[in-house]
Structure 1
Amino acid sequence: MIDILIAEDQALVRQGLKMMLETEADFRVTGEAVNGQEAVECCKKNRYDLVLLDIRMPVMNGLEAGKKIRELLPDSTILMLTTFNDEEYALEALKNRANGYLLKDGDAEELIKSVKSALGGGLALEDHVAAKIMPTLLEQQKFTQKVDERLTDRELDLIALIGKGLSNQEISATLFLSVGTIKNQISGILHKLELRDRTQLAIYALNHDIQ
């Protein structure tokens, strides 16, 4: 079973998240908190596989709580939740080693999909969140890791566009290829590089300065 802690100051939102998560047989919410300080205290007493933290909470916000919980439970998966699609929040969350940044207006299927991705070692970022922060990360940092020599020029072009936050439809229009072809090529690249999802591929673009 996956034990989950939800920290959210609005009771209705907290209960809604709990109901959505527990539609998955292996998920169970074993802890609830109404602010970041309570979340930290819960993590001092119990072990959680997954911690969901609202960004804006009284007493202690989710970003600060996430930093403290990462020290207490270094192997836990921490996801930040917010209604605000704010670039600075997302960047700060990743800086604090959060495993993802999700908007609360998503549906149950998308929430569970993101949670499973994060639990599997992926970085859970919704496409439009990734689209905002990846260009900023690319501007802030340059890396010189060696690019996998098996990648073709076409694959490098595709990785660069993903790194810039383009959707499959936008990449399709840029490369004059069908969306289906783009999806197939992305799947092939993920398999070749042994990556889990397009967010990890965007991080690959950043780490290898593919533009």
Structure 2
Amino acid sequence: MIRVLIAEDQAIVRNGLKMIIEQDEDIQVVAEAENGKAVLALLEKTIVDIVLMDIRMPIMDGMEATKRIRQQFPQIKILILTTFNDEEYALQAFQEGANGFLLKTTESFTLVNSIKSCLSGGISIHDQVAAKLMPKLLKKETNHEKALKDNEIVPLTKREIEIVKSIGQGKTNKEISRELLLSVGTIKNHITQILSKLELRDRTQLAIYAVRNDYI
């Protein structure tokens, strides 16, 4: 069972989200909060797999809450769900450690699938936001990639290249493990080694690296 905490300051929206996601028998809303401070307090005493996080909330907003969750509860996934179609918000959210960024106009089935994807190691970005965000992320990678080229291409093994290609295609660790006939733990170890070799911070940067370097 996937245990969800909904962080949203409007009760009517919380209720609607709960009704939508609990239509899937594998998902249960175990807690609700109307601000980031309440989220952190609930996480101290509630077992949660993923937080659906609004950005604009009183007392403590979603960005600050995301940052603190990543510091205090690194195992918990965070899916931003907001009305703001703004690439700067999305960029900041991923920098703070979010695993996905969706708009509240998202279809119900997409929301449910995104929850499951985030828990499997995937990254979910609303199409409209991605169209604005990707050019900025690609631009941010330019200097880093130039430095790599100046110091010669970092050697990756055949297996590592296969994993980089899969991540660039948006596949989860579970999907990659099935394709390569390896355990999820082995895939995670490979990804950690790849990130270290390429001097990249996270899976998002690795996906961008795959695109920029024609791995897909």
TM-score (norm 1): 0.73
* Cα distance in 2 for residues equivalent to 1:199 and 1:133: 19
SS in structure 2 of the partner of residue 48 of structure 1: coil
Aligned residues: 173
Unaligned runs of 5+ in 2: 173-202
Identical aligned pairs, as a percentage? 45
Question: Is residue 5 from structure 1 mapped to residue 5 from structure 2 by the alignment?
Answer: yes
Once the two structures are superposed, residues 135-194 of structure 1 have per-residue CA deviations (whole angstroms, 9 ceiling, x without a partner) of: 1011122333659798xxxxxxxxxxxxxxxxxxxxxxxxxxxxxxxxxxxxxx998833
Cα gap change, 1:205 to 1:37, in 2 (>3 Å): closer
Unaligned runs of 5+ in 1: 151-188
SS in structure 2 of the partner of residue 70 of structure 1: helix
C-alpha RMSD of the superposition: 2.7
1:143-162 correspondence runs (5 A):
143=145, 144=148, 146=154
Determine if contact 2:123/2:204 at 8 Å carries over to the other structure.
no
Structure 2 residue aligned with 1:23? 23
Of stretches 93-102 and 71-80 in structure 1, the one that deviates more from structure 2 is: 71-80
TM-score (norm 2): 0.71
* Cα distance in 2 for residues equivalent to 1:125 and 1:133: 9
Once the two structures are superposed, residues 37-72 of structure 1 have per-residue CA deviations (whole angstroms, 9 ceiling, x without a partner) of: 111111122221011110000111000001111122
Structure 2 residue aligned with 1:194? 166
Determine if contact 2:168/2:208 at 8 Å carries over to the other structure.
no
Question: Is residue 210 from structure 1 mapped to residue 213 from structure 2 by the alignment?
Answer: yes
* Cα distance in 2 for residues equivalent to 1:130 and 1:99: 14
SS in structure 2 of the partner of residue 130 of structure 1: helix
Deviation of 1:203 (Å): 4.8
Deviation of 1:197 (Å): 4.5
Cα gap change, 1:192 to 1:45, in 2 (>3 Å): closer
Structure 1 residue aligned with 2:181? none
